Structure 1
Amino acid sequence: MRYLLSLLLICWQTAATAQWYETQGHAYVTQGNKENARSLAIENALKKALLVAGASVSSVQQVVNGLLTQDEVNIRATGNVNAFEIVNETYQGNMLSVTVRADIIPQSRQCFSADYRKSLLLTKSHLSHREQANIGSIYKIDSALIKRLANKIQQQGSYLAPKLSVKSSNEFSRYNNSLDIEKIKHISMSLGDMTDSQYVMFSEIDDVSFALEPNNGWQFWQEDEFERHFKLNVHIYNANNGELVFQKQYQNSAPWTFTKRARVDVNSNTFWQSQYGAVLDQTINQVITDIDDNMMCQPTRAKIVDVQGNQIRFNLGERHGVKLGDKFSLLHVKNFTSDKGKSYAGFNVSPFNVKVVQVSNASAVAQTEDGKILDSIQLDDLVVRH
């Protein structure tokens, strides 16, 4: 099978030396579809190679009802893949492992905002139909999924600095169902303010139900094995103004290999190494790819938490990529409310520019280079890359 790599490059190419990266990708064979599993495993391996080379990847497979309809891998990256070859391909039960060697030329970043990692708060997911979690007693999937997502973003994400809040639920789903945009804005800004986060992610697990027909009904000596569905909705809001910046739905399914009476620990390796857990893991990986690619060019706006003379402190630091000598412009927040009660974000650009003179893990101190007093700057005003 021949694979076409379509590279969508936003920035111009720079002279660089190509390097070979050898990585291994994995995928489960579901419903006997080895070609689809092979395609997913190759995608997985190429993503790893590009990410190791410093790329941002958005890979899309066109699949209809489990059948590969277009033999093409689309990669959006800051690296150029000259060529790749499949080194090895092995099966272990339903698991397919493919080793790929790729020739990659690294390139410069795609946008200015990519210089800093955005602080993203991940909130507890909402399990829309709790009765669907009865089989397996997987009620804690709402927090387990987000914990795993946060850990993977920490390890794999290129443009995000995650924070986790799964001890309590929030009202997002209720407001979202009633289309109460203003209350969603309020809760996003409130959570961002409480946790010093630039962006807030809400999610809804809308489906963990079972298919009506068993996969192995003809094997009368075995217990029936059913496909279990999984549907996840992801929403990300700007915590400075409450505006929606990312929204996407993910849908998949896989065989539920546990018995009907088994109580399954969704935080255990047993669950995540099962076929259903592996498909959830693949979904998580796709979520990371999508939000990393989307958030890469979102503006990095830090909040000013202290003003003293010609100095300010703001809530970006080393963990976000801020360095000594970085320069920032200042924005004075000027939100307003329309006659119909809708709130809108507004900013006045300050004439002041500041330069970073101190950096800690989560914050930085910057000052005006000419020593002028920042008399018009207030707490909760913003800094942006100059």
Structure 2
Amino acid sequence: MTPILRIFLLLLACLSPLSAFAEWVQGESTLAIKDAPLDDVRLVAIKNAIADASFQAGSLISAEDVVLNGLLVSSKAEIHSTGRIQRVEILSETVEDGKLTVVVRVNITPIFSCESDKYSRTVLVTRFQLLKPRQAAYGDIYDFGQQISKRIEQQLIRQPNSLSVQLMDQAFAETTSFNAMQPQMMYEKASYLAQTYGRQFIVFGFIRDISLFEQINTENDDDDAALKRNFTLDVYVIDAFRNALLLQDSYHSEANWSFTEASAVDTHNSLFWRSEYGRVSLNTVNAAVSDISTAIACKASITQIVDKLPDGLVVGMGSDQGVSLGDSFSLLKKRALKRTPYTGIAVQHPLKNLRFTVSEVNAGASVLTSDNPAALSLADLYDLVTPADTPLADAMANQTP
């Protein structure tokens, strides 16, 4: 068999209406191995099995849209497609009579569409710290949190929906104080970071558990004990300009730990990430990133006024986020609500009569001007703007603050 070529499979089935809920569907594929490398055959078989599952679910999917990233070498994997497929579990892989059979279980969700604006969402990822650093002593993996943070950033950049991502080499909060933080404290911290870095969405969290444990293999007469390690990731996403907690979830996995206690494991080395624990950790990160991307995808793009000119406003979005000359924005005004642990500053209605047009643009900022003389006087530093004439902007205008 020649090296893997792109697989062009476009499967369309109209067997049943789309369900409103996610469902798990099983798929299967069998391929002859012949003289081809087993890993290459395996990759094609997995894709075909996923396509088989999607066909049974009545979905439309191109197999080449499946991003495997080399992670489907463990029993679980995360993939991304056009909003239909979120996760894959490999149930079995068997070789018999020169043929490889792969059986997968695919989590398929209905295709959803949101009429959002054209701009890239601006995201700030803070460093994910180890909640209990002493757990890193076995293997000397004290920089594990730094590595996980970097991979969250990398996977967010690769998401199908456009995200403008920046990694901050500091944690959102100290591990000793995070559990005591009230929601309002989180919003205030997120608001500060948004103003400092010009990013709307703040992604933060902690690595809650990387402890080790032994698991007895009861299938063997010797009752061998395998050393395994946990990986629990807590993730939060805040829309800092609207004081909204979009995601709060925990992701857990575990895998064999193949390194000795005396080993100083190099988490910068690909050998670590190709180990079972490294692969499962990446799979867990992918699950979190998929949820982060979904939480952000349909939210309105909002940016702040970072400077006032005599004849215009400077805002923190530019060509890197998709802003073009002539684009229109509406002004958002903020007002203070009664301070409670759960409320802070709310975004008021967009002022539809105060429209601004992009007159200058560079990579990270734009200048907005208006024909309405009153518009500039009503806009203050750190006020917010959102794209005008979009379904999301109109929806926000009709909401009660």
Could you say whether these structures have the same fold, taking a TM-score greater than 0.5 normalized by the shorter chain as the test? Answer: yes
Deviation at 1:339, TM superposition (A): 7.5
Q: Secondary structure at the match of 1:250?
A: strand
Q: Quick check: 1:193 aligned with 2:236?
A: no
Q: How does 1:249-260 map to 2 (within 5 A)?
A: 249-260=250-261
Q: Secondary structure at the match of 2:195?
A: helix
Deviation at 1:370, TM superposition (A): 5.6
Q: Distance in 1 between matches of 2:218 and 2:140?
A: 23
Q: Secondary structure at the match of 2:158?
A: helix
Which residue is equivalent to 2:131? 128
Q: How does 1:44-193 map to 2 (within 5 A)?
A: 44=79, 47=80, 50=81, 55-56=82-83, 59-60=86-87, 71-77=105-111, 110-156=113-159, 158-166=161-169, 168-171=170-173, 173-193=175-195
- The structure-2 alpha-carbon separation of the partners of 1:263 and 1:195, relative to structure 1 and needing over 3 Å to count, comes to same
- 8 A contact 2:329–2:357 mirrored in 1: yes
Q: Distance in 1 between matches of 2:58 and 2:378?
A: 47
- The structure-2 alpha-carbon separation of the partners of 1:56 and 1:73, relative to structure 1 and needing over 3 Å to count, comes to closer
Deviation at 1:319, TM superposition (A): 1.6
Which residue is equivalent to 2:327? 326
Q: Which residue type is aligned with residue 86 of structure 2?
A: S
Matched residue count: 324
Deviation at 1:74, TM superposition (A): 0.2
Q: Quick check: 1:21 aligned with 2:23?
A: no
- The structure-2 alpha-carbon separation of the partners of 1:376 and 1:143, relative to structure 1 and needing over 3 Å to count, comes to same
Deviation at 1:312, TM superposition (A): 1.4
Deviation track 1:278-331 (CA, whole Å, cap 9, x = no partner) reads 111112222222111110111211101122344211101122122222211111
- The structure-2 alpha-carbon separation of the partners of 1:257 and 1:112, relative to structure 1 and needing over 3 Å to count, comes to same
Q: Which residue type is aligned with residue 59 of structure 1?
A: Q
Deviation at 1:111, TM superposition (A): 2.4
Q: Which residue type is aligned with residue 361 of structure 2?
A: V
Deviation track 1:145-167 (CA, whole Å, cap 9, x = no partner) reads 1012112322335232111112x
Q: Secondary structure at the match of 1:113?
A: coil
Identity of aligned residues (%): 23
Of the structure 1 ranges 154-163 and 280-289, higher mean CA displacement relative to structure 2 is found in 154-163
- 8 A contact 2:87–2:287 mirrored in 1: no
Q: Secondary structure at the match of 1:149?
A: helix
* TM-score of the superposed pair, with normalisation by structure 1: 0.73
Q: Which residue type is aligned with residue 162 of structure 2?
A: Y
Report the aligned-residue RMSD: 3.4
- 8 A contact 2:184–2:340 mirrored in 1: no
List alignment gaps of at least 5 residues for structure 1: 10-17, 31-35, 79-109
Q: Distance in 2 between matches of 1:272 and 1:293?
A: 26
Q: Distance in 1 between matches of 2:382 and 2:207?
A: 34
- The structure-2 alpha-carbon separation of the partners of 1:152 and 1:183, relative to structure 1 and needing over 3 Å to count, comes to same
Q: Quick check: 1:364 aligned with 2:380?
A: no
- 8 A contact 1:159–1:292 mirrored in 2: no
- 8 A contact 1:59–1:75 mirrored in 2: yes
- 8 A contact 1:175–1:183 mirrored in 2: no
- 8 A contact 2:308–2:381 mirrored in 1: yes
